[in-house]
């Protein structure tokens, strides 16, 4: 029953535990903040950014939703795991692995639908390449463009990147992009069981996904669980690691000596 911007207000108050630790005053504080037009305009702008921050939207082409059990978000553990409850017990969800799975299937669906997947940069990101990197990028230029990059090799072996896959827009800097491009053009990383595109999209999703030690609001956690349930493979990340661990009620009862 809280107004839509309450999660954003809560996020702002989290660094101030002396406020958050006063449950009787919590509703009054919320109403006070909500009554200030200037704060609400600022938060409205923040809410728009927050909604886009995780790059979680509808997943086109996903036809098998509902494979996850119905899960209720309880909270966040160590700013790394989403604690959820289902009819069969407790599920700890790795937020990085879950977000990675969501972003991978989002990119795969967009490529199949031939939907736009690039984000043009306001300012190109440039860095120098080693001679072997120049050759490797030239060999993979069309493949890199296919998954959303726009790049050009300039004089003095300088790589200029003018667009990136749109899921990467929040993770951009020269160092991380250099590492990613180097990984995507290194042939030894591609195994016999995966194509270059599968390998590349998995690594882009890993780079773009939120990391551990990242605070999520309850609404963001709920959105992530909902979108994870719409993916085709919700129980593993791009690299085969589990997205969640299940603790049954009977197992918990045994741990507490109830059985």
Examine residue 158 and state whether it is found in any structural domain, yes or no.
Answer: yes
* Domain total in the chain: 2
**Burial class of residue 130 (count of CB atoms within 10 Å of its CB; 0-12, 13-18, 19+):** exposed
Q: By the 8 A CB rule, do 89 and 244 touch?
A: no
Examine residue 247 and state whether it is found in any structural domain, yes or no.
Answer: no
Choosing from 162, 184, 208, the residue where a domain stops is 208
Neighbours of 118 (CB within 10 A): 17
Residues 6+ positions from 139 with CB-CB distance below 8 Å: 185
Q: Is 201 found in the same domain as 128?
A: yes
pLDDT of residue 47: 44
pLDDT band at 32 (very low <50, low <70, confident <90, very high): low
pLDDT of residue 60: 54
Hey, what are 201's tokens? Answer: 């999209």
pLDDT of residue 33: 61
- 85 φ, ψ (degrees, to nearest 5): -125, 135
Examine residue 95 and state whether it is found in any structural domain, yes or no.
Answer: no
118 vs 79: CA distance, rounded Å = 30
Examine residue 64 and state whether it is found in any structural domain, yes or no.
Answer: no
Radius of gyration (C-alpha) of the chain in whole angstroms: 21
pLDDT band at 37 (very low <50, low <70, confident <90, very high): low
> Nearest-CA neighbor of 242 among 106, 103, 96?
96
State the chain's maximal CA–CA distance in angstroms: 71
Residue 1 has pLDDT above 60, yes or no: no
**Burial class of residue 121 (count of CB atoms within 10 Å of its CB; 0-12, 13-18, 19+):** middle
Examine residue 96 and state whether it is found in any structural domain, yes or no.
Answer: no
Mean pLDDT of the residues in the chain: 81
pTM: 0.75
Examine residue 238 and state whether it is found in any structural domain, yes or no.
Answer: no
Q: How many CA atoms lie within 13 A of 167 on its CB side?
A: 26
What DSSP line would sit under 38-95, residue for residue?
Answer: HHHHHHHHHHHHHHHHT-----TT------SPP-EEEEEETTTEEEEEETTEEEEEEH
> Nearest-CA neighbor of 175 among 128, 118, 110?
128
What is the per-residue pLDDT across 142-198, written as a single tens digit (0 to 9) for each?
Answer: 999 999 999 999 988 999 999 999 999 776 789 999 999 999 998 765 554 578 899
Examine residue 88 and state whether it is found in any structural domain, yes or no.
Answer: no
Choosing from 53, 73, 90, the residue where a domain stops is 53
Note down the domain range covering 192: 117-208
Distance of CA 233 to the CA centre of its chain: 16
Residue 81 has pLDDT above 50, yes or no: yes
184 vs 140: CA distance, rounded Å = 9
Q: Tokens 């790589």 appear where?
A: 159
pLDDT of residue 12: 47
pLDDT of residue 145: 95
Examine residue 213 and state whether it is found in any structural domain, yes or no.
Answer: no
What is the per-residue pLDDT across 117-155, written as a single tens digit (0 to 9) for each?
Answer: 999 999 999 999 999 999 999 999 999 999 999 999 998
């Amino acid at each position: 029953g809280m107004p839509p911007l309450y999660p954003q207000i809560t996020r702002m108050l989290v660094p101030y535990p002396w406020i958050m630790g006063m449950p009787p005053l919590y509703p009054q504080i919320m109403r006070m903040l909500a009554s200030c037009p200037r704060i609400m305009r600022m938060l409205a702008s923040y809410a728009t950014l927050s909604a886009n921050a995780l790059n979680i939207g509808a997943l086109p082409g996903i036809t098998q939703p509902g494979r996850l059990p119905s899960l209720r978000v309880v909270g966040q553990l160590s700013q790394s795991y989403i604690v959820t409850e289902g009819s069969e017990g407790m599920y700890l969800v790795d937020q990085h692995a879950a977000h990675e799975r969501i972003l991978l299937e989002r990119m795969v669906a967009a490529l199949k639908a031939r939907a736009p997947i690039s984000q043009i940069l306001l300012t190109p990101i440039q860095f120098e390449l080693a001679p072997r990197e120049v050759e490797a990028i030239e060999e993979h230029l069309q493949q890199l463009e296919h998954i959303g990059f726009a790049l050009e090799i300039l004089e003095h072996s300088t790589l200029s990147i003018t667009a990136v896959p749109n899921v990467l827009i929040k993770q951009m800097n020269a160092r991380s992009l250099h590492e990613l491009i180097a990984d995507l053009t290194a042939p030894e990383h591609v195994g016999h069981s995966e194509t270059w595109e599968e390998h590349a999209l998995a690594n882009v999703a890993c780079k773009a996904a939120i990391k551990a030690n990242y605070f999520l609001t309850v609404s963001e956690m709920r959105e992530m669980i909902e979108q994870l349930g719409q993916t085709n493979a919700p129980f593993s990340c791009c690299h085969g690691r589990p997205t969640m661990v299940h603790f049954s009620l009977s197992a918990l009862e045994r741990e507490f000596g109830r059985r």
